[in-house]
């Protein structure tokens, strides 16, 4: 009897299209980011319900500081509001929060809020939610290398992997980008080496449970070889072997 297709253990998402969603509705771009928070809440619940163990989302990149001042300011205000409103819900739903990124450029209020949110949800085990905020993939690699150099450790693949900002979780199995663009945009460059890529034309505020299920279904129909041949992969699968 064939086993049920595996649900990805770790899903990573570039939540793209909030601004365009708002612009098409003649709304300020910040309104799109607010709607994006609603979509993220829906996605977190859906991932937990489907048995996904880790969800990592790109909330604010290190390059996003170059956006218009009013949009950046609105995003920072939105983060403060979201922390106050969402953390109690995440705590109740068994979600553990990790914020990944450079914190030195953040305000004291936001930095303190991130720490408090992590501490409040530290004992939750149903789903790990990594929110990449003021994050960049190149920053992540450079930071890890600098840490190894400061400790006098060899710059090996294993040591670098252990020093990366997401070393507390396995690498993503499925990398989703919404909004119609088809690039990584400096997100999880190291960790996504063997992730299956899925690009959706839906803008992030429109990415619902059905869209998530579509991405998971595509993932389940991919053959993940990790350098092996198809024959080797099939031979190693229990559902392909005789009972």
Tens of pLDDT, residue by residue over 169-199, are 999 999 999 999 999 999 999 999 999 999 9
The reply to whether 16 belongs to the active site is: yes
pLDDT for position 227: 67
Is 122's pLDDT higher than 90?
yes
* Window from 83-87, 101-105, 216-220, 230-234 with minimum mean pLDDT: 230-234
pLDDT tier at 74, thresholds 50, 70, 90: confident
Digit-coded pLDDT (tens) for 15-43: 999 999 999 999 999 999 999 999 999 99
Q: Is the pLDDT of residue 242 over 80?
A: no
pLDDT at 105: 80
- Can you name the residues that pair with 175 across neighbouring β-strands? 12, 197
Nearest-CA neighbor of 19 among 80, 100, 74, 83?
Answer: 74
Q: In the annotation, is 64 catalytic?
A: yes
Quick check: 140 and 164 in contact, CB under 8 A? yes
Specify the pTM.
0.90
* Angstrom distance (rounded) from CA 191 to CA 210: 26
Name the strands in the sheet holding 127-135, side by side, starting at the edge strand that comes first in the sequence: 95-100, 127-135, 54-61, 10-14, 174-177, 196-199
Task: Please state, in angstroms and rounded to a whole number, the distance separating the CA atoms of residues 138 and 135.
Answer: 9
Low-confidence winner among 99-103, 131-135, 199-203, 231-235 (lowest mean pLDDT): 231-235
- Give the active site residue among 18, 64, 173, 201: 64
Q: What percent of the chain has pLDDT over 70?
A: 91
How much is the pLDDT for 1?
A: 43
pLDDT (0 to 100) of residue 239: 58
Q: Give the span between the Cα atoms of 151 and 157, in whole angstroms.
A: 16
DSSP 232: H
139-157 average pLDDT score = 97
Nearest residue to 28 via CA among 93, 64, 75, 61: 75
DSSP single-letter state for residue 222: S
Catalytic residue among 16, 140, 171, 173: 16
Q: What are the backbone angles phi and psi of residue 22, rounded to the nearest 5°?
A: -70, -45
Band of residue 243 on the pLDDT scale cut at 50, 70, 90? very low
Confidence bin at 75 (pLDDT 50/70/90): confident
Round to whole Å and give the CA distance between 132 and 128.
Answer: 13
Both tokens of 196, joined, read: 């299956």
């Amino acid at each position: 009897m064939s086993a049920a297709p595996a649900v990805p253990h770790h899903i990573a998402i570039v939540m793209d299209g909030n601004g365009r969603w708002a612009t098409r509705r003649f709304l300020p771009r910040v309104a799109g980011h607010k709607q994006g928070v609603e979509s993220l809440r829906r996605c977190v619940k859906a991932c937990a319900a489907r048995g996904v163990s880790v969800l990592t989302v790109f909330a604010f990149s290190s390059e996003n500081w170059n956006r218009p001042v009013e949009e950046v300011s609105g995003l920072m205000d939105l983060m403060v509001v979201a922390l106050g409103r969402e953390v109690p819900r995440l705590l109740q739903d068994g979600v553990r929060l990790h914020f990944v990124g450079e914190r030195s450029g953040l305000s004291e209020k936001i930095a303190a809020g991130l720490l408090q949110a992590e501490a409040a949800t530290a004992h939750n085990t149903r789903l790990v939610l990594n929110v990449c905020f003021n994050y960049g993939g190149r920053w992540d690699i450079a930071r890890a290398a600098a840490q190894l150099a400061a400790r006098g450790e060899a710059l090996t693949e294993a040591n670098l992997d252990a020093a990366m900002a997401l070393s507390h979780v396995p690498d993503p199995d499925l990398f989703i980008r919404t909004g119609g663009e088809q690039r990584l945009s400096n997100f999880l460059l190291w960790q996504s080496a063997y992730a299956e890529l899925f690009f959706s034309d839906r803008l992030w505020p429109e990415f619902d449970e059905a869209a998530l299920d579509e991405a998971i279904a595509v993932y389940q129909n991919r053959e993940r070889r990790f350098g092996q041949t198809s024959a080797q992969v099939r031979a190693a699968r229990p559902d392909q072997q005789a009972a």
